[in-house]
Amino acid sequence: MDVKKKDIRALTKEQLRDFFIKEGDEAFRGNQVYEWLWSKSAYSFEDMTNISKETRQMLEDNFVINHIKVDTMQRSSDGTVKNAVRLHDGLIVESVLIPTPTRTTACVSSQVGCSLDCSFCATSRLKRMRNLNPDEIYDQVVAIDNESRLYFNRPLSNIVFMGMGEPLMNYNNVIKAIDKITSPEGLGMSPKRIVVSTSGVPKMIKKMADDEVKFNLAVSLHSAIDEVRTSIMPFNETFPLKDLQEALEYWYEKTKKAITYEYIVWKGINDSLKDIEALVKFCKYVPCKVNIIEYNPIDDGAFQQASNQAIEDYIRVLERNNIVVNVRRSRGKDIDAACGQLANKS
């Protein structure tokens, strides 16, 4: 790559319009190019057929389009598709297409690796290498939208930020990507169909509330007892449950949006009545629902899915307390595409 050339998709529409004015062209040309770059996802300047040859050459001389490339695509027996996506600098992240009879969900990554150290998650074994740029997040969504149209004859319907990385540790870029995804000039998707999942960074949850974001929030809780949570999610030491609770109360007050708690039940870790009672108490702070997720083993076997009995106990006690609870089965396990399994085995 020529180092002097700039990434054209780092420019806002305004900057692109200004660029054309400075070139002695019309601002409108900026709109045209912007449309090619985003809603039409052009991979090269050559594709921009309503732009003159000279202008395309001029763009070529000044800029690059850093598109992601789907390196390998694996299809699971249950229809799940996993993309290993190569970035312009050669690093790889993974994203997953999850089909159900009525929808197609894209599970996208926000960072290369992750800086958190959740001991049950395969991604934590990779150090955080860098944040993804807005266009790299956007492109994962476009790739899955294309695959959904190709394999399932329908567009993408939902997006979850539950791939690699902690989205709130790359907040600005995630927000910029979501702006593009939801803008009519991008994919025009409703923010109601987007879920950002976080391990719970209190300061950033408050920031999101202040920014009046319109997407939904999920929190990977896994335990409502500090001691237990810190033992499996060490950053809980820095951001204890009390701070998380306070941030979530602030979120709800500002947005009036209920929270989804993601929760895995492990044998011997959080499968006692005490754990259930702590969760019930935590659920009373802010309107919420609980998704119990099936544990996907990652190699070393230190964690084991709790017994069905323990999960039934959770469901019974939560329901008795009028808390909505769903049990989520994992998809795409045979291709390491399920939650917590994204770690670039290839």
Which residues are catalytically annotated?
A: 94, 339
- Report in angstroms how near the CB of residue 289 gets to ligand SAH at its nearest: 14
Residues that bind ligand SAH (CB under 6 A): 120-121, 162, 166, 197-199, 220, 262, 264, 293, 295-296, 298, 339-340
Between 66 and 236, whose beta carbon lies closer to ligand SAH? Answer: 236
Q: What is the signed CA dihedral for 190, 217, 158, 75, rounded to 10 degrees?
A: 160
Q: Which is nearer to ligand SAH, 27 or 126 (CB)?
A: 126
Closer to ligand SAH by CB, 94 or 313: give it.
94
Q: What is the H or E stretch that residue 245 is in?
A: helix 241-255
Let me know: does 291 contact 262? Beta carbons within 8 Å: yes
Closest CA to 162 of 206, 255, 96: 96
Nearest approach in angstroms of CB 221 to ligand SAH is 8
Do 110 and 167 form a contact (C-beta atoms < 8 A)? Answer: yes
Residue 186 beta carbon to ligand SAH: minimum distance, rounded to whole angstroms: 22
Smallest gap from residue 98 Cβ to ligand SAH (A): 12
Residue 281 burial (CB count, 10 A): 12
Dist CA 114 CA 127 (whole Å): 6
Q: Are 165 and 123 in contact (CB under 8 A)?
A: yes
**Residue 276 · residue 314 · CB < 8 Å:** yes
Identity of the residue, 66 or 220, whose beta carbon is nearer to ligand SAH in the bound complex: 220
Q: How far is the CB of 130 from ligand SAH (least distance, A)?
A: 16
Alpha-carbon distance of 85 to 184, in angstroms, equals 25
What's the 3-state SS for 147-175?
HHHHHHCCCCCEEEECCCCCHHHHHHHHH
Q: Which residue is nearest to ligand SAH (CB)?
A: 340
- Nearer to ligand SAH among residue 16 and residue 164 (C-beta): 164
Q: How far is residue 300's CA from residue 303's CA, in Å, rounded to a whole number?
A: 8
**Least separation, in Å, of the C-beta of 303 and ligand SAH?**
7
> How many Å separate Cα 200 from the centre of its chain?
14
- Given the complex with ligand SAH, which of 59 and 132 has the nearer CB atom? 132
At 218, list the tokens: 């999920």
Rounded CA-CA distance 304/268 in Å is 8
182 vs 199 by CB, closer to ligand SAH: 199
Sequential DSSP letters for 95-122: EEEEE-SS-EEEE--SEES-S---TT-G
Least spacing, CB of residue 238 vs ligand SAH, in Å: 15
